Chain A
Amino acid sequence: MSKRSNDSITWGTFSEGLWRDNPVFVMLLGMCPVLAVTNSAINALAMGLATTFVLLASGALISLLRHSIPKQVRIATYIVIIATFVTIVDYAIQAISLDLYNALGAFIQLIVANCMILGRAEAYASRNRPLKSFTNALGMGAGFTLALLCLGVVREVLGAGSLFGIDLFGPRFEPWVVMILPAGGFIVLGAWLLLFEWLKQRKERLELEAAAETR
């Protein structure tokens, strides 16, 4: 490996997670919290920020320790590091807002079992310098939060007729309750994926036509 050449931090290091390799929409990682806590936009945002913090802290620490962790026990070490930060987040949220803590329930502690975080630790933080891993984790966390918000906003607007708790449509709006129920989570995420696939195929088709015209 030519270490020097790929040490540089570029815009791509950050933006990779935000869009091109978005952990939720493209890689389909960490689905459990994505579907479980996105029944309102505020829950989605809180979950996204909590996950981002764990991602950043564990990414930086694992990257710092990457030469001293023995290869055979690396997964166990990563899990313990992640679990430590999740415990910190768990107590922090409990201290900041008890309402939020009750709304998110066990899913804060279940950040430990979010495969996205372990996947990033294994695939990125263990191979790159701390600052670069940190930048990448920031992008991934932002992408994850963005995806959660995409779902949370749609589900809250359709299912409760409000956004961030503010009523949007007035009293005559009949809420689409199924969107807040578990089934709604699956369906909304499926619909987002369909939309992205459609856009992708449309773009490819247009590019193909443009290439055919210039020929």
Chain B
Amino acid sequence: MTESLSFIFLNAVLANNFVLALFLGLCPFLGVSGKLNTALPMGLATMFVMLVSSVSAYLINIVLVMFEIEFLRLIAYIAVIASAVQLVEMALKKLSPALFRSLGIFLPLITTNCAILGLALFQTFKEYNFTQSLVYAIGAGVGFILAIVLMAGLREKLELSTMPSITQGAAVSLMLGGLLSLSFMGFAGLGG
């Protein structure tokens, strides 16, 4: 693998943005993007879990390959991610109970955020080394924060405008997501 670190980073943030181009992590993207001041902490929490699980997944993969039990990869990864989420949950409960309450059910649901499992799987498929995995995880996290914060900003503006009654609910959020995704396609030439 000869991909440079900056290429991996830009690729994960813009050209192959996890949310808008690869469709990973849509549940929190649609669920928690109502307000800016919950979207940003959610993004940061997700990024932290991404980092922890990326490092753990790298180490676990070495062990799995050593014992030739790759078929256990999925189960091992998801167990690690679940523990990492538990860690974040406990830390957040101690540090900021108010934030903990406002994130609500979406915090434990980071476990089933496919962006995180996807990250762990992709870095294994692409055979990234340790530094590359780390940069990939940071890029994916930054990309996720970027997408969710942009979306939250758009939806806050939307609250103030008059819309036809049938657009209540998720339909307009999805349309907005479509437009965002369309604009992110403009970055496609950067990575590939």
Contact = CB atoms under 8 A, between A and B. Distances in A.
Interface in A14-34: 28-29, 31-33
A87 B75 contact: yes
A84 B75 contact: yes
A187 interface: yes
Contact of A31 (B30, B74, B175): B30
A32 B168 CA distance: 22
B171 A35 contact: no
Interface size class of A (residues with CB under 8 A): 35 or more
Interface residues of B, number: 44
Given A76-B82, A87-B74, A189 B174 contact: yes
A198 B169 CA distance: 12
A181 B173 CA distance: 18
A110 B178 CA distance: 22
Contacts of A31: 23, 26-27, 30
Would you call the interface of chain B mostly helix, strand, loop, or mixed?
helix
B176 to A, nearest CB: 8
B175 A187 contact: yes
Contact of B166 (A91, A118, A197): A197
B114 A32 contact: yes
15 contacts: A31-B30, A32-B26, A33-B23, A35-B26, A76-B82, A106-B118, A110-B24, A113-B117, A181-B182, A183-B179, A183-B185, A187-B174, A193-B169, A193-B170, A197-B167
Given A91-B71, A109-B121, A197 B79 contact: no
A75 interface: yes
A60 B139 CA distance: 39
Interface in B12-52: 20-27, 30
Given A194-B167, A198-B166, A186 B175 contact: yes
Interface string B130-156: 000000000000000000000000000
Nearest to B114: A113
A183 B112 contact: no
Nearest to A29: B27
A9 B72 CA distance: 36
B171 A193 contact: yes
A79 B82 contact: yes
Given A75-B108, A87-B71, A193-B170, A186 B178 contact: yes
A123 B95 CA distance: 30
A201 B165 contact: yes
Contacts of A86: 74
A36 B22 contact: yes
A184 interface: yes
